[in-house]
């Protein structure tokens, strides 16, 4: 009996050792299994994180694309506005310059009228006047044709009215006192005229 107790005791000790060894082995394997489980969870968690990140990046891309398109549209609008301003400024500057030199042309006409007797002086003034008129034409300046035309307050400045003569219609330009000029559709100087009543 002592022997059987001893054997039972040894069996029990062996059994406890085996169970302890088995538990330790399970514990050693468990961290790997847990680690693998955690890796799988991380991978599963990463997929939604990647899709969330992709969504954020896509939203950000759309935001920057919208900002780019707005900036480009603003740039185009500014370019067009500046082009219009530049063109208007150029035309206004040219108009101002032409307006300042028109009295010179008027004086050439007066000089021609005064130099009726001296052919040499008259020929010289005519050459200068032709050169002056060519310079105006090169700048796009045209004379407003007024004589015999119906009075137009947009083109003519009536300084007097005279009774209509034979064959003259009421409201037509009877005489031009000072020539008018325009650049394109813009009037540089209105024609000073006498209108038939």
Nearest to 99 by CA among 170, 32, 194, 182: 182
User: What pLDDT is attached to residue 158?
Assistant: 93
User: What pLDDT is attached to residue 15?
Assistant: 72
Structural domain boundaries, residue 191: 142-197
Give the gyration radius of the chain's Cα atoms: 51
Report how many domains make up the chain: 1
User: What pLDDT is attached to residue 117?
Assistant: 84
Element (H, E) at 190: none
Write out the two tokens for 148: 């015999």
User: What pLDDT is attached to residue 2?
Assistant: 52
CA–CA gap between residue 112 and residue 108 (Å, rounded):
6
CA–CA gap between residue 26 and residue 14 (Å, rounded):
18
Asked whether residue 173 is assigned to any structural domain, the reply reads yes
Asked whether residue 170 is assigned to any structural domain, the reply reads yes
pLDDT per residue rounded down to tens, the chain (197 residues): 555 556 666 766 777 777 766 666 656 655 555 555 556 655 555 556 788 889 999 999 999 999 999 999 999 999 999 999 998 898 889 999 999 999 999 998 889 888 888 888 889 999 999 999 999 999 999 999 999 899 999 999 999 998 888 878 888 999 999 999 999 889 999 999 999 98
CATH of the domain at 193: 2.30.22.10
User: What pLDDT is attached to residue 23?
Assistant: 66
Contact (CB, 8 A) for 195 and 171:
yes
Asked whether residue 83 is assigned to any structural domain, the reply reads no
User: What pLDDT is attached to residue 91?
Assistant: 87
User: What pLDDT is attached to residue 98?
Assistant: 93
User: What pLDDT is attached to residue 104?
Assistant: 92
Strand order, beta sheet including 156-162: 156-162, 191-196, 173-178
Asked whether residue 77 is assigned to any structural domain, the reply reads no
Asked whether residue 171 is assigned to any structural domain, the reply reads yes
139: which DSSP letter? T
Asked whether residue 66 is assigned to any structural domain, the reply reads no
Asked whether residue 119 is assigned to any structural domain, the reply reads no
User: What pLDDT is attached to residue 63?
Assistant: 95
User: What pLDDT is attached to residue 13?
Assistant: 73
User: What pLDDT is attached to residue 192?
Assistant: 94
Asked whether residue 93 is assigned to any structural domain, the reply reads no
């Amino acid at each position: 009996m002592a022997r059987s107790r001893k054997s039972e005791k040894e069996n029990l000790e062996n059994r406890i050792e085996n169970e302890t060894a088995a538990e330790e082995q399970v514990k050693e394997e468990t961290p790997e299994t847990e680690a693998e489980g955690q890796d799988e969870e991380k991978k599963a968690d990463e997929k939604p994180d990647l899709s969330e990140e992709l969504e954020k990046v896509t939203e950000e891309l759309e935001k920057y694309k919208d900002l780019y398109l707005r900036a480009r549209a603003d740039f185009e609008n500014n370019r067009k506005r500046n082009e219009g301003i530049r063109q208007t400024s150029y035309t206004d500057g040219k108009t101002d310059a032409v307006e300042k030199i028109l009295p010179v042309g008027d004086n050439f006409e007066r000089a021609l009228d005064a130099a009726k007797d001296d052919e040499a002086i008259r020929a010289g003034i005519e050459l200068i006047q032709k050169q002056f008129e060519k310079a105006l034409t090169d700048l796009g300046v045209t004379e407003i044709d007024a004589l015999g035309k119906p009075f137009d307050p947009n083109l003519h400045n009536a300084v007097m009215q005279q009774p209509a003569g034979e064959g003259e219609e009421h409201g037509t330009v009877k005489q031009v006192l000072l020539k008018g000029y325009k650049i394109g559709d813009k009037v540089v100087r209105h024609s000073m005229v006498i209108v038939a009543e």
